[in-house]
Structure 1
Amino acid sequence: MDDQLWALCYLDEGVALSIISRKETRCQWLSGEDQARQYVLRDYLHYVAELGELDPEQTAAAGDRFALLMEQYPEPEVLVEYLNDLTAGLTRIIWFGPLYALAEDSSDFALALREHYWQEYGEGDEDPALPVPEEDWPYLVEAMDEFLLNGDY
């Protein structure tokens, strides 16, 4: 599996959540950091603009703000905090980062995903914080889909 893969996973917090009474999560896998950042600036921004019913001028201003935040805060975890502040009540990013970090990181989301992964794909005696070996990353990606559907995050 490509060790350059990045993911952007986010959930609706606004109207859709209140109507359907469950988390509506989207996860987009991207071929690297540059593509992931461009996805945030185009597709994710467009999604937020639709949810917030922004006019073109407001959407452009939001795009400028997103770009500035990306420039000021290149670390994904910090960037996510600021982006989530801007999109509060509409959507919330739950993961933005590389696949290798999901396999090894100690963030709450990565640990919860790995715990789910080891329950589904392990032999039952693995430490849930144990990193997922690179050769098993395709299964980790598969586990992500199940994990998001179950809403255990």
Structure 2
Amino acid sequence: MDNKAWALCFLDEGVALSVISRKETRCQWLQDEEHAYECLLNDYVHYVAELGELDSEQTAAAKERFALLMEQYPEPEALTEYINDLTVGLTRILWFGPLSALAEDYSDFPLALRAYYWQEYGEGDEDPVTPVIEDDWIYLVESMEDFLLQDDY
């Protein structure tokens, strides 16, 4: 897995939960930071607009608001918090950031993912907070889908 890769993982909070009574999660892997921010500003905004049944004028306003937030809060963690405030009841970003951070950071989501990863793929003696070495990132990525379906985050 490329060490420049980023991920955008999100959970549908609205329609999907009420209609089918289970979590609907999506995780999009992007080649680098530039593409990740581009995806957030374009694809994710349109996804949110579709969920919220926004018209074209409202969608344009949402895109402007996202762009302003991206300018004001360039750090992924802060940006995610503010975007999630805007999309309450529709969708929630679980992770927006580099793969390297998922493998090494000590914030809640990476810690939970690594605990799951070590439980499923480890040899039983690993500390669940142990960072995943770069050679094994592909396995961390593979574990993400099952983690998103099984764990509470």
2:34 is matched with 34
Per-residue deviation, residues 129-148 of structure 1 (Å, max 9, x unmatched): 00001100000000111111
Aligned residues: 153
Q: Calculate the TM-score normalised by the size of structure 2.
A: 0.98
**Aligned partner letter, 1:2:** D
Give the superposed CA RMSD: 0.7
1:88 equivalenced with 2:88 (yes/no): yes
Question: What is the Cα deviation at residue 97 of structure 1?
Answer: 0.2
Cα deviation for residue 126 of structure 1 reads 0.4
Paired with 1:87 and 1:135, the residues of 2 have a C-alpha distance of 36
Gaps of 5+ in 2: none
Q: Which amino acid in structure 2 is aligned with residue 150 of structure 1?
A: Q
CA distance in 2, matches of 1:152, 1:5: 24
1: CA distance, partners of 2:15 / 2:133: 39
Contact 1:23 1:151 in 2 (8 A): no
Determine if contact 1:11/1:93 at 8 Å carries over to the other structure: yes
**Aligned AA for 2:100?**
Y
Within a 5 Å distance, the mapping from 1:50-65 to structure 2 comes to 50-65=50-65
**1:31 & 1:149 partners in 2: Cα distance?**
24
Sequence identity (%)? 75
Report the secondary structure of 2:8's partner residue.
strand
Aligned to 1:128: 128
**Corresponding residue for 2:12?**
12
**Structure 1: any 5+ residue segments left out of the alignment?**
none
Residues 43-91 of structure 1: CA deviation (Å, up to 9, x unaligned): 1000000000000000000000000000000000000000000100100
* Matching residue's letter, 2:129: A
Shift of 1:151: 3.4
Amino acid at match of 2:85: D
Residue 78 of structure 1 aligns with which residue?
Answer: 78
CA distance in 2, matches of 1:20, 1:73: 35
TM-score by length of 1: 0.98
